[in-house]
Chains A and B, each alone.
Chain A
């Protein structure tokens, strides 16, 4: 039952907002929704159709008669399947590492940061604002054989030969975690912000040690945020191509990089479309399973 009366004009705002005419403001949504629907969402329909087209070898002409050829090629060619597997494992690893690194950071931001909160949040956002390239540029100098890591270790006398970091999956993993960690931290912060501190105090007053408070109270309550963050990081890692391409030195092809190659170098757009569709379907499957998982979480929370 909603109450119309008890909170005055604006303590919650919803009732006062109701006062400002509703119908007259709906048109404000039109430009934005039309832009996204036409420029962003509609192309996905085309993508679906395009993935069934073909482009006879050696030509740039597209044959729009529907065929499953592109998909057959992806799932019969070991090159693409191996690429897909490699990308999946890199993405899962990125998610797990981000979760381990991101959770304490999010908790610290919400509970301890105080004055530093805005600064630290801004710093975590910086990689997003800087795009994919600038951090990658720095990472190359960090990881290269003459770079900061190898250089330091060598001057300290720990190693005489450079550890290969660039051009390895490990190097790519570092780049992916660095690029997408903020996508894990921000949803966790949003969810943890909703958890009143008194719950932790209550658990402690009931005799829970800090570790138990974490395991029994904080982690379960933040599960939604962790889930949201994991999906974001997974999707971002799965479809990233700039970071893997530069840090992998072109030696390690991820699925999205293969897609980029088909679209930008080979210029076989229908095949690129079907590769993109495979990624989209993976994301869709993930989305559905997360929705189911959330529902089961939702019953308890």
Chain B
């Protein structure tokens, strides 16, 4: 095998993985109503349309509200659970961790079908709180995983050192562990938010007519009318904001650890 075969292969596979997103971004600048390659004209037409559309704006807002609340729950519960797993009794750790990351291992579609019935009984199908509850649940494993890795990477001796220097346990945690965990908290928040924001799999089952998120609207539109180029522009903006947030988190990460 030549020296360049492996890097070249890797580059191709990575390109393949992100190609759809690149195509999406590229085609959002195509002026035509129906995308065709090579494009005839480029314009920002669909971006203007995106900013002008009230319908899309309200569904995007819905997604953001669900995402923010769910992220808050996911990160708090997830960080607490990660700490509990790391510092709690070791005997039941494996079982508890398995429960906490279950939404990552069991397919969400299957769960969503059961949730549909339960939400109907509880009368929270298609409501904000129904969505928040579901989104907080399936984003929780991401927070747990990230925070487990984060807390595990922080030398517990640091907190002990703080105690030996006169810090009470709570103060030692707040002054030492918490600041060092900030990059991890930022990562899990970003991850939870965007996964919630972009979720269609669960939301399409439990979204009613009152609280429609952007992906749910997009999905029903795709099945019915085909692609509206406006959504390409919106999708591009979502991807760009993801990249910006990831970049900022990375920067923050490096600054905090100064390594």
Within the complex, which residue of B20, B25, B76, B239 is in contact with A136, where a contact is CB–CB below 8 Å? B20
- Any chain A CB within 8 A of the CB of B215? yes
Cβ-defined contact, B84 with A141, below 8 A = no
Cβ-defined contact, A43 with B83, below 8 A = no
* Residues 72 to 91 of chain B near chain A (Cβ within 8 Å): 73, 76-78, 80-81, 83-89
Cβ-defined contact, B21 with A135, below 8 A = yes
Q: A32-B81, A40-B102, A43-B118 are in contact. Are A107 and B87 (CB under 8 A)?
A: no
Residues of B within 8 A of A283 (CB): 106-107
Q: How far is the CA of A98 from the CA of B102 in the complex (A)?
A: 23
How far does the Cβ of B84 sit from chain A's closest Cβ, in whole Å? 3
Residue of B at shortest CB range from A129? B194
Cβ-defined contact, B116 with A108, below 8 A = no
Q: How far is the CA of A182 from the CA of B21 in the complex (A)?
A: 15
Cβ-defined contact, A124 with B17, below 8 A = yes
The tally of CB-CB contacts under 8 A between chains A and B is 296
Residue of A at shortest CB range from B121? A46
Within the complex, which residue of A36, A120, A246 is in contact with B99, where a contact is CB–CB below 8 Å? A36
- Any chain A CB within 8 A of the CB of B138? yes
- Any chain B CB within 8 A of the CB of A52? no
* Residues 33 to 74 of chain A near chain B (Cβ within 8 Å): 33, 35-37, 39-41, 43-44, 46-47, 50
Cβ-defined contact, B198 with A44, below 8 A = no
User: Residue-by-residue, is A118-159 near B (CB-CB < 8 Å gives 1, otherwise 0)?
Assistant: 101011101111111111111111101011101110010000
* Residues 125 to 180 of chain B near chain A (Cβ within 8 Å): 133-134, 136-138, 140, 144, 152, 155-160, 169
Q: A10-B157, A50-B117 are in contact. Are A142 and B87 (CB under 8 A)?
A: no
Residues of B within 8 A of A104 (CB): 6, 9-10, 13
Cβ-defined contact, B21 with A127, below 8 A = yes
Q: A16-B156, A26-B89 are in contact. Are A273 and B113 (CB under 8 A)?
A: yes
Within the complex, which residue of A50, A146, A235 is in contact with B114, where a contact is CB–CB below 8 Å? A50
Q: How far is the CA of A147 from the CA of B39 in the complex (A)?
A: 10
Residues of A within 8 A of B250 (CB): 118, 122
Looking at A105, A141, A210, which has the most chain B CB atoms within 10 Å of its CB? A141
Q: Which stretch of A215-223, A236-244, A291-299 is in the interface?
A: A236-244
Cβ-defined contact, A28 with B81, below 8 A = yes
Residues of B within 8 A of A43 (CB): 111, 114-115, 118
Cβ-defined contact, B99 with A37, below 8 A = yes
User: Residue-by-residue, is B36-79 near A (CB-CB < 8 Å gives 1, otherwise 0)?
Assistant: 11100000000000000000000000000000000001001110
Within the complex, which residue of A29, A40, A109, A276 is in contact with B84, where a contact is CB–CB below 8 Å? A29
Looking at chain A's contact residues, is the secondary structure mostly helix, strand, loop, or mixed? helix
Q: How far is the CA of A236 from the CA of B107 in the complex (A)?
A: 7
User: Residue-by-residue, is A6-19 near B (CB-CB < 8 Å gives 1, otherwise 0)?
Assistant: 00011001001101
- Give chain B's interface residue range (CB within 8 Å of chain A): 35 or more
Q: How far is the CA of A32 from the CA of B19 in the complex (A)?
A: 36
Cβ-defined contact, B23 with A29, below 8 A = no
How far does the Cβ of A285 sit from chain B's closest Cβ, in whole Å? 14
How far does the Cβ of B46 sit from chain A's closest Cβ, in whole Å? 13
Q: How far is the CA of A252 from the CA of B252 in the complex (A)?
A: 46
How far does the Cβ of A164 sit from chain B's closest Cβ, in whole Å? 16
Residues of B within 8 A of A132 (CB): 198, 200-201
Cβ-defined contact, B37 with A147, below 8 A = yes
- Any chain B CB within 8 A of the CB of A169? no
- Any chain B CB within 8 A of the CB of A264? yes
Looking at chain B's contact residues, is the secondary structure mostly helix, strand, loop, or mixed? helix
Q: A35-B136, A40-B138, A137-B235 are in contact. Are A131 and B10 (CB under 8 A)?
A: no
Within the complex, which residue of B23, B103, B215 is in contact with A133, where a contact is CB–CB below 8 Å? B215
Cβ-defined contact, A40 with B137, below 8 A = yes
Q: Which stretch of A78-86, A191-199, A200-208, A255-263 is in the interface?
A: A255-263
Q: How far is the CA of A11 from the CA of B90 in the complex (A)?
A: 19
Residues of A within 8 A of B181 (CB): none
- Any chain B CB within 8 A of the CB of A1? no
Residues of B within 8 A of A22 (CB): 87-89
Cβ-defined contact, B99 with A33, below 8 A = yes
Residue of B at shortest CB range from A25? B87
Within the complex, which residue of B14, B114, B133 is in contact with A120, where a contact is CB–CB below 8 Å? B14
- Any chain B CB within 8 A of the CB of A27? yes
Question: Which A residues fall within an 8 A CB radius of B?
Answer: 9-10, 13, 16-17, 19-23, 25-29, 31-33, 35-37, 39-41, 43-44, 46-47, 50, 101-102, 104-105, 107-109, 112, 118, 120, 122-124, 126-142, 144, 146-148, 150-152, 155, 178, 181-182, 210-211, 232, 235-236, 238-242, 245-246, 250, 256, 259-260, 263-264, 269, 272-273, 276, 279-280, 283
Ordered by A's residue number, 11 sampled pairs between the chains whose C-beta atoms are within 8 Å are A19-B156, A118-B250, A129-B242, A134-B20, A146-B35, A151-B36, A181-B17, A232-B105, A242-B201, A250-B223, A279-B109
